[in-house]
Every structure is written in C-alpha cells, then in structure tokens.
Homo-oligomer: A and B are copies of this chain.
Amino acid sequence: MLKVGLLGAGRIAGVHATAITANRGSTLVAVSDINAEAAAKLAAQYGAEARTTDAILNDPAIDAVLIATSTDTHSDLIEKATGAGKAVLCEKPVDLSLARAQACQTVVAKNGKPVMIGFNRRFDPNFSALKAALDRGEIGKAALLSITSFDPAPPPVAYIKVSGGLFRDMMIHDFDMANFIMGAAPVSVSAVGTSIVDPAIGDAGDVDTAVVTLTYADGRIAVIKNSRRAVYGYDQRVELLGSDGLLQAQNMLENTVVKSTTAGVTGAKPTYFFLERYMPAYAAEWAAFVTAVSARAAMPVTLEDGVAALALAEAAALSVKSGESVSVRSVIGWMNS
C-alpha cells in the first residue's frame, strides 16, 4: 500500500485525492497547501491529515508525493521531494523555463528517485486505445498526425499574462501527445498564431489560435491546431493517417441522446472541459504511477518527456515570431540525437 502525500489542495488536487483513495494500491496520508484551511478541508474529506509541505517531505512513512501546486513551484518541489527520497508524480508543466526544467533533470538524475510528469491525456481511454491500435500495426506505418485541441473559453487575460503563453500553457499537452504517438521528436517546428478570439490576448503578447506543423526525420508530418474558444465545449481529437488506414479518437459526449425534429438531428455536446473529459484519465494515470512505483519499473511518462514538450513549445514560440521554421536541435541539444 503506497502511502501518499498530496502537495496542493486546489481543484485538481481534489481530483487526484479521489484517484488516490479509490486505488486499492494507495492511501492518502497527508495534504499540504499554502492555504491551510483548504488543506484541512480536503484532508478531512478523505480521512487524511493536513500538514506542512516540509512535514510531508520529512515523514519517512510517506512513499510518494503528488505535486499539484502552482507551476512556478514544480521544479523546486520535484527536486526537494526526490532529495527526500520520495517517488513523485508532478502535474505538467515541469517549468515555464526550459533552462530551469533542464537543471531540474540534472538534480533528479542525481537523486535517483522516480519522477512522473502528469500528462494525463496519454491515459485518456480514447487516446491510449488509438496508440495501442497503432502499436499493434492496425494502420501500418504512421504518416500524418493531426491533433485538434480547443478549449471551451479563454481564461482571463490576467491568467494569460503569467501562463507562459499558449504554446507552453496549452499546446504543451499536444506536443506531448505528438511525442507519445509518434515515438520520436520532430526535427523542425513551424508555427502561425493569431489573437482572433480576443485582441486583448494579442495585446498581452500571446496568441489564442495557432497551427503548428512538425516534421520528422523519416518524413512523417504532424499538425496541431489550438484555439482558446470552442463555444460548444472541449474539443479534443486526434487523427492519424497511416499506410494501411486512419485512426481517429473523437470527442466524448455529455450523453447519447439524439433528437430528430424539423430542425435537424441533434446530439449532445462534447463534455465541457478537462475535468469532465479527463476524469477517467486521472484515475488511469495514478494507477499507472502506482503500478510502476510498486514494480520499480520505468515511469510511464518521464521528466525527459516533460522537458521535450517544453522544448517544442519554445521552438513554436520562436517560429511564430520569426515566420520561419525552427530546428528542434537549435533549441535543445539532446533531442534527435
């Protein structure tokens, strides 16, 4: 039974608390948060204790920590927790700074403790089924990958300003999805972006709609489309053309009811946002972590994966500014080696 400390007591921490408790191989021991009241409330709900982060990290009875705090604390907490001998599952991204994330890699390598990055979408039952079908050879060799990833509504501009920008904050999930499905890093990144949803986002120096094209050494191509606004709900689709066919992972819908009237044939919208869509993914993600830690096996998503996605975000941000294709190797030395 894995004894777990949860760092953070916000909305996503609550989702993780459920997953930890429901899993037969793990138990939630303690919760910390900079807001002590929030930590106390969440701990009480799940029969755990509220503690300070240091108290959690210093407790030798705790085997693992789940980091669900704000992004700017991730790399510090990963380093501290692995230094304290804990296995770590940390929410994405590792850091907004590629340099800082790479420094974190060095520390973690020295500490020698397993770190998994929470790219939850790899555990979505639809995307993981698509990947499994590809790996079984059901569509032959991959050729052209398309990722559609639209949020239902843009966040406040205040959030945009500290988010690191669309590529690091939002498309980073899609860069990881491309890496997951293609099983290799691209060699070049070409991006266009616009603030057509809200000019205030453009004024804040960011884009709200973007298309990024990735090319691979073996001739494959991937294209990622992001928009901060799809009023009909969270639009999360992946489509892969291979030599023997096409795989598509489509949206999950709120329900299966279809109404036919003189106005047409109407079905339910996609599930609203990430909590609704990816709830099963969070449970599967935690289960994969518990299984890997228990078996002392390789992490299913590594810190390197977190850094690689961040490097592609950096390359895309450079490309959208220069209007030119950016070589991945120019951004990060070790990829494509």
Contact = CB atoms under 8 A, between A and B. Distances in A.
A246 interface: yes
Interface residues of A, number: 74
A45 B25 CA distance: 11
Interface in A174-228: 188, 190, 192, 194-197, 209-211, 213, 215, 218-221, 223, 225, 227
Nearest to A256: B250
Interface string A253-287: 11111111111111111100000000000000000
A99 interface: no
Contacts of A45: 24
Contact of A255 (B125, B194, B267): B125
B221 A194 contact: yes
Contacts of A262: 231-232, 244-245, 269
Sorted nearest first, the 5 A-B pairs with minimum C-beta distance are A245-B261, A232-B260, A196-B219, A194-B219, A250-B256
Q: How many copies does the complex hold?
A: 4
Given A133-B259, A257-B130, A215 B232 contact: no
Contacts of A247: 257-260
Contacts of A249: 255-257
B227 A225 contact: no
A129 B258 contact: no
Interface string A121-134: 00001100110010
Interface of A: 18, 22, 24, 45, 47, 125-126, 129-130, 133, 138-139, 143-144, 146, 148, 150, 188, 190, 192, 194-197, 209-211, 213, 215, 218-221, 223, 225, 227, 229-233, 235, 241, 243-270, 323-325
Contact of A235 (B235, B246, B250, B261): B246
Nearest to A210: B221
A269 B259 contact: no
